[in-house]
Amino acid sequence: MPPRLLAALVAALLAAGAAAAQEKPLAFTGARIIPIAGQPVDNGILVVQGGRILAVGAAASTAIPAGAEVRDARGKVIMPGLVDSHSHIGGASGADGASPVQPDVRVLDAIDVRHASIQKAQAGGITTVNVMPGSGHLISGQTLYLKLRDGRVIDDLLIRLSDGSTAGGLKMANGTNSIRTPGGPFPGSRAKSAALVREQFVKAQEYKARRERAGNDPEKLPPRDLALEMLVEVLEGRRIVQHHTHRHDDILTVLRLQKEFGFKVVLHHVSEAAKVAAEIAASGVPASVIILDSPGGKLEARDFALENCAALERAGAEVGLHTDDSVTDSRLFFRSAALAVRAGMTRDAALRAVTIANARMLGLETRVGTLEPGKDADFILLSGDPLSVYTEVEQTWVDGVKVFDLANPADRLYARGGPGAGDSRRAVLCCFGSAWDIIAAANGGAGQ
C-alpha cells in the first residue's frame, strides 16, 4: 500500500470516528434550555451519549456523569432539533403525468442526499424532515421521513421503524393543483377529484378484504398491486396521509373522506384554516400550516391569513408549521414560528409547532421533537431567543453527531449563501467509505 494511500485511510478512519456518536458522555452546561417537554431552564445541562439524550434539566438537579466531556454553552439557547413536516429538499420528485393517482411512486428512489438544500436545512436547525413529492396529483407518491445525518447514501438518512420498514407518509392533494383542464386522466373539478380518490380507497378496501380472506393461502391471494398495497397501509393506519389542502371547502372535503375511510391524515398548508378552525379542531385532525409573506399567488391562497395558527390554537387544534422548502427557506424555519406569534399564536405553541407537534404528525414523537432522556440526541445551539430575527443557529446535532457548525467556513457558506452554496456537499471530510473517495482524497482531490 503506498504511504499516501495509507495516510488517507488513517485520516478516513479518524474522520469516520469523529462522525460517529460519542461513546463518552458529552455535557453542555450553562445554556438556557428549552426542552419543549416542560418549562425552559436558564442555567441548564444537557448530557448526550451514544446518540441518545442521557439527561436534561437545571444545573442544580442534573448530574454530569464522571468522565464526561464538558462544553461551556453559557449565553446559548439549546432546543430540540427542528422537525419540518413538509419539505421538498434533496431535489426529490414523485409521480409523473401519466395519472392523478400514483401511490406506488416513492420519493426514496429520487433523492440526492448531498443536495445543497439538505445542507441548508441542517443550517436552519432542522434535524427531522418529511420530504414530499409535489402537489400536482391527487396521490403523488410515498413521502420519506429523514434524519438529516451527514450521509453518503440515502440509507444513511432513513428512519427505521420497529417492524424494519422505512418511515414515511403518503402525499395527497386536492384543490387547484391536481385539477387539469383539459384533464385527460386528471380531474377537471373538485367533485371529480373527490370521486377519483374515493374510488381508489374503495378498491383498496376490497383488495384488503380479498387478502384477508385468502389468509395464508397463496392460491387465493390477489395479484400484488403496489398502488393498492400502499393504500392498504394507509387504511390500516400504518402510514399517515400528508394532505395538501388550502381552501376551507377543500379542507372539509379531506375531513369528509377521512371519516369515510378512517385513515390517519394531516392537513397541510390550510390557507383558509381560520374559516373552519372549529371544524378542524372538532375532527381531531392536526394541521401543518404554511406561513407566507403575502396572500395570493394562486387562487386557493387568495385568502391566506397570518392568523391561521392563532385561530387553530384558540379552537384547540393541534398546530404544526412547515417550510414547504423552497416555498420558504429551511434556514429560516424559526421565522415562520415567529410570524405566527406576531399574528397571535402563543410562543409556547409556536415552538411546539416546529418540534413536537410535527413529530406527532409524522408518528415520530417517541423519538424526536423534545429534549427528554432516552430520546434521540437531536438538538441545536442558538445564539439567543429562537423567535428573534437577530438569532442564528450556531450548531445542529443529529443522533449526537454535529452536522452543522456556523464557525466552520464550509458550513457557514450554506448558512449565509454565496458562490458555491448551490453545489452539492463534497465527499471529502464527511463520508468516506468507497475506495474512490479515499484515493481522490489522497490525490488532493475533492472526491465526487
Partner 1 sequence: MKTFLTTLCLLALPALPAAETAAPLAIFGETLHTLAGPAIKDGLVLVRDGRVTYAGPAAGRAVPADHRVLRAKVVTPGLIDARATAGLSGILNQPQDQDMLDRSAPLQPELRAIDAYNARDPLVAWVRSFGVTTLNTGHAPGSLVSGQTMIVRTAGHSVEEDVINPAAMIAVSLGGSAVNRAEGPPGGAAKSPGTRAKAVAMLRAELIKAQEYARKREAKDETKRPARDLRLETLARGLDGSQRFLVTAHRQQDILAALRLAREFNLRIVLDGCADAPLVLEEIKASGFPVILHPTMARASEDTENLAMDTAARLAATGIPFTFQSGYEGYVPKTRVILFEAALAAARGLGFERALAAITLDAARILGIDARTGSLADGKDADLALFEGDPFEYTTHVTTTVVAGRVFADGPR
Site residues (vs partner 1, CB under 8 A): 292-299, 301-302, 326-327, 329, 332, 335, 338-339, 341-342, 387-392, 416-422
Q: Is the CB of 34 or the CB of 159 nearer to partner 1?
A: 34
- DSSP assignments along 254-312, one per residue: HHHHHHHH---EEEEE-TTGGGGHHHHHHHT--EEEE--SSS-SSGGGTT--TTHHHHH
Q: What angle do CA 387, 390, 393 make, to 5 degrees?
A: 75
| Nearest-approach distance from CB 341 to partner 1, in angstroms | 5
**Using the 8-state DSSP alphabet, how is residue 380 labeled?**
E
Distances in Å between the alpha carbon of 419 and those of 91, 332, 413, 416? 19, 20, 8, 10
Residue whose CB is less far from partner 1, 135 or 370: 135
Q: Closer to partner 1 at the Cβ: 188 or 420? A: 420
Pick 146 or 340: Cβ nearer partner 1: 340
Nearer to partner 1, 189 or 388 (CB): 388
Closest CA to 149 of 36, 21, 17, 47: 21
Residue 331: CB atoms within 10 A of its CB come to: 23
- Least distance in Å: CB of 293 to partner 1? 4
Smallest distance, partner 1 to C-beta of residue 191, A: 22
Q: Identify the DSSP state of 79.
A: E
- In the complex, minimum distance from the CB of residue 184 to partner 1, in angstroms, rounded to a whole number: 22
CB 418 to partner 1: min, Å:
4
Q: What is the DSSP letter of 109?
A: G
Q: Which is nearer to partner 1, 345 or 368 (CB)?
A: 345
Q: Shortest gap between Cβ of 288 and partner 1 (angstroms)?
A: 16
Strands 41-49 and 26-33 turn out to be: antiparallel
Min dist CB 206 to partner 1, Å, is 39
- The three grid cell numbers given for residue 170, joined into one nine-digit string: 403518503
Of residues 64 and 332, the one with the C-beta less far from partner 1: 332
Identify any residues that bridge with 56 across adjacent strands, giving them in sequence order: 46
Q: Take residue 426 and report the three cell numbers written for it.
A: 463534497
Q: What is the end-to-end Cα distance of the chain in Å, rounded? A: 22
